[in-house]
Structure 1
Amino acid sequence: MLELRSVSKFFPGVKALDNVSITFKPGEVHALLGENGAGKSTLIKIICGIYQPDEGEILLNGKKVRFESFRDALDHEISIVNQEIQVIPQFSIAENIFIDKIEKFASAGIVNWKQINTEAAKYLKIVGLEMDPATLIAGLSAAQKQLVQIAKAISSNAKVLLLDEPTSSLTKHEALKLFTLVTKLREQGVVLIFVSHKLEEVLSLCDKVSVIRDGKYVGTMDRGNVTKQDIVKMMIGREMKDHDLGQLDINTDNKVLEVKHLTQAGRFNNINLDLHEGEILGFYGLVGSGRTELAKILIGEDKMDAGEVWIHGKKASIHSMADSLYKYRLGYVSENRKEEGLLLEETVRTNIGITIWKKVVQPAIHKINLKLEEFEAQQMIKALHIKVNNSDDIVGGLSGGNQQKVSIAKWIAAGCDILIIDEPSVGVDVGAKEYIHQLIWNLAKVEKKSIIVISSDLPELCTLARRILVFREFQIVGELNDINDRPYSYEELSGRIGQYLA
C-alpha cells in the first residue's frame, strides 16, 4: 500500500500541491486525473523521489518513507513510465531498457551484452515491439520509444508502477496489449497508478479515480459509480458536452496536394493520395505502419526513390523542411514536441518566430526586428489562447496543452496553406484538447486550410477527420470517404478500420 498524507509542495510564488491525501492499494488500477497544471506531475515526482514534499508524509506498506532521489525510489521497488520520451538516442534498445541495471549483467568489470540482448528481447515481446534489441534508439518513432520505456519499467519488477500517459502515442491495438499487461500486474498485486487524459481508457481499465484540481485533492470515486461527465466536472469545475463539429465545405475540385506513385525502397511502394482545399484528412494505423514516415517524406525530411508530389497543381521539388515551408507553405507539427517540435529552453516568442525569420529579420543588418517578432508572437498568443505571463516565458515551463499550442502556433504564423499535424492532442487535458480540436476545425472550415491529422486516438479522428486513410506495413490498405456526409460513431469507425487491419 502507498499512502500520501497531507502532502504539500511549494515553488517560488506557487503552491503546486495543497494538503493532498490519497491511498493507492495493491491489486488496483488507480487513475490520477486532472488538467495540465493541476499538480499531477508534481505528485508523481514526489512519489518517485525526484521532489521531496515540504509538508506531509508518505507511507509505504504502513511505514513512513522519504525518498531523496529517483534511485532511492527504485530501491523501494517504485518505477515509472514517463509521459515524456526519456531515452538515450545513441544507445541500443537493450541498453535503454537495462540502463539502471547494467551491473546485474557484469562480472569482473565485463558486461555480458549477449545476455542483455536476450533479456531485452523478452520484454520487447511482452510489450509487442518486434525489433532487434541491438537497434539504436535514435531511429525509432515516438510510439516505439514509448514501448521501450514501458519495457524498461516492467523489467524492474516494481511493486508500485506509475503509468504517466503510457498510451499517448499508441493506437488502440497497442494500447489493448498494454491493458492486458496491466491486468496481469494487477493480479500480481502491484500498485498501479494510471495517469491519462483519455477518459475512455480510464473508464474501461481503472478500478478507482482520484482527481486533483489547482493543486488540491477533489475526491476519489469507484469506477462503477462515475461517468465521463462526472470526471470532467471534477477536473475542470464545469460540465463539458461532446458536440458534433458538423460538415466541412471541402472544395473537391481543388487538389492542393497530390502524391503520385511514391516509392521508397524497403518501405513504401506506389503510394497515391490527394488532399483537397478545406479538408481534414486522417491517417490511422498501428505503430510503425508508415504514417509519420510518409509525412517526413512529404516535408523533405526523408527521401523517396520514385514518384511525384504535386502542390497546387504543380510538380513540387522538396528536399528539406526549408523547401517545404518557404517554397510550398507546407508545415509539419511533430508528434514529439519535446525532441523535434520545440526549443524547450527558449522563449515562447522565439519558438513562434522561428518559422518567420525571413519576415522578422532585417536583411541589411542581419538582425531580428524585435518589435515585429513580439507583435507576431502576441498575435498567436491571443489567437490560440496560450496561457503565459508574457512572450518571454520559457516554453519548457508551460503545461503540455500550452506547449502544443505553441508548436501549432509557429506554423500558423508562417501562413502555411497545408498543415500535417501529427498526434495533435498528445499529452493534453480534456479542456485543451477541446480547444485544439476547435482550432484545427476552424483552420479548415473558416480559413480553408488543408490539413492532414495523424492520430492514434480514434475518438479524435471521429471528431476531426472527414476522410481517413488506413495504413498497414507502409501501405494504404483502406479509405473511409463518406464521413463528411454522416460522421461515424466511435464504434462504427473502430469496426470499419478494424476490417482493414485484420
Structure 2
Amino acid sequence: MTSLLTATGLTKTFPGVRALDRANLTIAAGRVHALLGENGAGKSTLIKILTGVYRPDGGQILVDGREVHLHSPEKARRAGIGVVHQERNLIGAFSVAENICLEQLPRRRGLVDRGRITAEARRCLGLLDLDLDPSTPVSRLSPAQAQLVEIAKALAADSKVLLLDEPTASLTSDEADRLYNVVRKLRDAGHGIVLVTHKLEEVFAVADQLTVLRDGRSVVESSLLGAYSHDDVVNEMVGREHNQVALATRRVIPPGKPALAVTRVSTAAGHRDITLHVQPGEILGLYGLVGAGRTELARTLLGLGRITEGTVVVDGATADIRDVGDALRRYRIGYVTENRKEEGVFLEQTIARNVAVTVWSKLARWGLVRDRAEHSIVTEYTQRLNIKLSSAEQLAGQLSGGNQQKVSLAKWLAADCKVLIIDEPTVGIDIRSKGAFHQLIGDLADSGVAVLLISSDLPEVVALADRIAVMRDFRIAGEVVNTREYTPMSRAIIRLIHGTGMAA
C-alpha cells in the first residue's frame, strides 16, 4: 500500500490553546481515510497545516516519501494536495470552466487561452461523469453541482491527495450518494481521499481507514475501519463511554396566544399561502429537503426578503419587520443563522465583542461600551455553553466550527429573545456538542421561549420538535404532531416530503 502523504508529530499552539499535540496522519493511495474528532479536537488545524494555511510549530510532512514545507496554499497545491472546504470557494459570476482553471489559467502568447480552459474543464468534469456545460455561471448551480465543481477544480491541479471537509453538509441524501459515488471512483483511480465529517453513517458507508483526534492528539492512527463498531468510534472520539442526551418528555402546549403567527403569507422569493404558528414554550420544527424554501422563509420573516401577501403577528400584534435589528429591538426575535462564518460571527472580532453585540445598547454608558461589561456577559454564556476559548479577547475566527456556532447562539441568548429562529443548529457539530445543543434548545423552550427550528436532520427534528411543519417547493406540505415514536413519525414526514401523505 503506497503512502502518498505522511504527517508525524505535528504540533500547533495558539495563544493559550494547544490545537495539535504531536498528531500523526498517513494517507495511502486508493483509500478513503476518515478524519474524526469532536469540535476543538484539532481537525481543522490539521487540514490547514496540510494545505499551507498554517505553519506547524513542530513535526514533519512527507509527500511521496520526501519532506516538504507547505508554507502557502500554492505550495500545497504544487505538492498535489487539494481541498474542498465546507464553505465553497467558487466565484459565482465566473463560469464553471473559469473556476476550475482559475489557479493555473492556460495562456497563449501572453493571453488567456479560452479554448484550453474549456478543454481542461471538460476533462475534469468527465473524470467525475458530470454532464455540465463549462460555460455555465457557477451562480446557477445547485449545491451538489457546486460541490462537484470544487472537486473538479482540485483534479485540475493534479491533486493526488484530496481533503473533503464536511462535503455533504448542504446536500440532500440523493446528492450525497452521488458525491460519494464520485469519491469511490477517485479512490479506485488511486487518489488518497481524506474525509472530515460528523456523520458516522457516511463514514461507515464509504471509508476504508480512520484517524481519530482528541484534544489535539491522534488517539487512533490510520486504522482499518472494519475493526471498529459505531459505538467504538464514538467512544474513541469522546474518550469515555458515550451516553446520548435523553430529553425529558415535553409537556403538551395548551392552546393560547401564539408568540409568532404567520397567516397566508406569500413572498417575493416564491412562497405561497404559508400558514404556521409557534407558542411560547413550544418548539416548531420546519423540515424539508434542501431547496424547499425554509431558510428563505425565515429570512423573509426577519425583514431580509419581501412579503407580498398575508400577515405576520408577534405576541398578538401585527408586525412590520424591516431588518434583523428591527426584529430584535421591537419584537425580541432572534435568528441563529446556518451560515455562521459569513453571518453568525464576526471572525476578526473578539469573542467578547461577538457575544455582547446584541446588548450593546443596554451595556452602553454615555455612548460607550466598557470592556468589563462585555466580559461579564461573555463569562456567563461561555460557561453556560461550554465554549472552549483561551480568553474573551480571542478572535472568533480562531475557534473551531462548533465553538463558533456556540458563540453565534450566545449572542441571542444574551439578548433574551422571546422568539428564536434556529437554522441548522448542529451542521458540522460533533456528537457530544450536538447532544448539548439539543438539551439547550429544550431548556430554552422550557423557559418560555418560542423556538422555530429549521433542520435537515430528521432524527434531530423528531427528538426536539413538539410539532413538525413539512415544506416542499416553498409551500407547507403538511404538519405532524410529534408522538416521540421515531419510525411512524419519520414515515409520515417522508410521505409529506414526497407528496404522498396528508397532514397528521
Asked if 2 retains the 8 angstrom alpha-carbon contact of 1:28 and 1:191, the reply is: yes
Q: Given that residues 418 and 450 in structure 2 are in contact (C-alpha distance below 8 angstroms), is that contact kept between their aligned partners in structure 1?
A: yes
Task: Show CA shifts across 1:171-213 (max 9, x none).
Answer: 3333222222212222222211101112222122212221122
Q: Which moved more, 1:188-197 or 1:468-477?
A: 468-477
Measured against aligned partners, the alpha-carbon deviations of 1:99-121 in whole angstroms (never above 9, x if no partner) come to 313x1376641453996599489
Quote the offset at 1:80 in angstroms: 0.6
For residue 443 of structure 1, report the CA deviation from its aligned partner. Answer: 0.4
Per the alignment, residue 242 of structure 2 pairs with 240
- Is 1:60 the counterpart of 2:60 in the alignment? no
What corresponds to 2:502 in structure 1? none
Instruction: Specify the alignment match of 1:497 in structure 2.
Output: 494
Separation in 1 of the partners of 2:313 and 2:149?
A: 37
Q: How far did 1:382 drift?
A: 2.7
Q: CA deviation at 1:360?
A: 1.5
TM alignment of 1:65-104, pairs within 5 A: 65-88=68-91, 95-101=98-104, 103-104=105-106
Q: Is the 8 A contact 1:259 1:274 kept in 2?
A: yes
Partner residue in 2 for 1:31: 34
After the TM superposition, which of the residue ranges 461-470 and 30-39 deviates more from structure 2?
461-470
Shift of 1:32: 0.8
Name 1:318's counterpart in structure 2. 321
Deviation at 1:301, TM superposition (A): 1.1
User: 2:459, 2:486 within 8 Å by CA — same for their partners in 1?
Assistant: no
Q: Distance in 1 between matches of 2:131 and 2:466?
A: 31
Please list the CA deviations of residues 325-377 of structure 1 after superposition, one character each: whole Å capped at 9, or x if unmatched.
11111111111111111111111221111111221223xx3222544333333
Evaluate the alpha carbon distance shift between residue 398 and residue 68 of structure 1 in structure 2; reply closer, same or farther with a 3 A threshold: closer
Alignment check: 8 A CA contact 1:33 1:195 kept: yes
CA distance in 2, matches of 1:126, 1:111: 24
- Offset from partner CA, 1:62-112 (integer Å, 9 cap, x none): 4444434222222233211113444456656664444313x1376641453
Alignment partner of 1:166 is 2:164? no
State yes or no: 1:222 paired with 2:218: no
The letter of the residue matching 1:311 is V
* 1:6 matched residue in structure 2: 8
- Tell me what 1:44 maps to: 47
CA contact (8 A) 2:462 2:484 kept: no
Per mean C-alpha deviation after superposition, the further-off stretch among 292-301 and 309-318 is 309-318
Change in 2 beyond 3 A, CA 1:361/1:243:
closer
Contact 2:477–2:496, Cα closer than 8 Å, also in 1: no
| Correspondence for 1:190 | 191
Secondary structure of the residue aligned to 2:477 is: strand
Query: Could you tell me which of 357, 360, 366 is aligned with 1:357?
Result: 360
| SS of residue matched to 1:166 | coil
| Deviation of 1:136 (Å) | 4.4
Partner of 1:377: 378
2:202 aligned partner: 201
2:478 corresponding residue in structure 1? 478
Which 5+ residue runs of structure 2 have no aligned equivalent?
A: 500-504
Distance 1:245 1:168, change over 3 A: same
> Which residue of the partner structure matches residue 488 of structure 1?
486
SS of the residue 2:83 aligns to: strand
1:255 aligns to what?
A: 258
Cα distance change, pair 289–76 in 1 and its aligned pair in 2 (3 A): same
Residue 308 (structure 1) aligns with:
311
1:407: how far off? 0.4
SS in 2 for 1:471: strand
Mapping of 1:338-353 within 5 angstroms? 338-353=341-356
Letter in 1 for 2:444: L
User: Amino acid of the residue matched to residue 280 of structure 1?
Assistant: I
**How far, CA to CA, are the matches of 2:492 and 2:115 in structure 1?**
44
Contact 2:34 2:195 in 1 (8 A): yes
Counterpart of 2:232, as a letter, is D
Aligned counterparts of 1:167 and 1:317: Cα–Cα separation in 2: 36
Q: Paired residue for 1:401?
A: 402
Q: Is the Cα–Cα contact under 8 Å of residues 36 and 211 in structure 2 kept in the other structure?
A: yes
* Distance across 1 between alignment mates of 2:200 and 2:296: 29
Indicate the residue corresponding to 2:464 in structure 1: 464
Partner of 2:455: 455
Tell me the distance in 1 between the aligned counterparts of 2:470 and 2:162: 34
In structure 2, the CA distance between the partners of 1:120 and 1:495, relative to structure 1 (3 Å rule), is farther
TM-superposed CA distance for 1:254, in Å, is 3.2
**SS at structure 1 position matched to 2:486:** coil
Residues 1:427 and 2:428 are matched in the alignment: yes
Larger mean Cα displacement after TM superposition, 60-69 or 283-292: 60-69
Task: Give TM-score scaled by structure 2 length.
Answer: 0.87
Stretch of structure 1 that moved more, 26-35 or 105-114: 105-114
CA separation of 1:108 and 1:389: change in aligned 2, threshold 3 A: closer
Distance 1:177 1:236 in 2: 31
RMSD: 3.3
Show CA shifts across 1:264-305 (max 9, x none): 246112222222222222222233221111110011111122
* Contact 1:6–1:55 (CA under 8 A) maintained in structure 2: no
Cα offset, 1:413, TM superposition: 1.0
Question: Counterpart in 2 of 1:112?
Answer: 114
Partner letter of residue 238 of structure 1? R
SS of 1:425's equivalent in the other structure is coil
| Residues 417-475 of structure 1: per-residue CA shift (max 9 Å, x gap) | 1111111112222222221111111101x212111222222332232223222323222
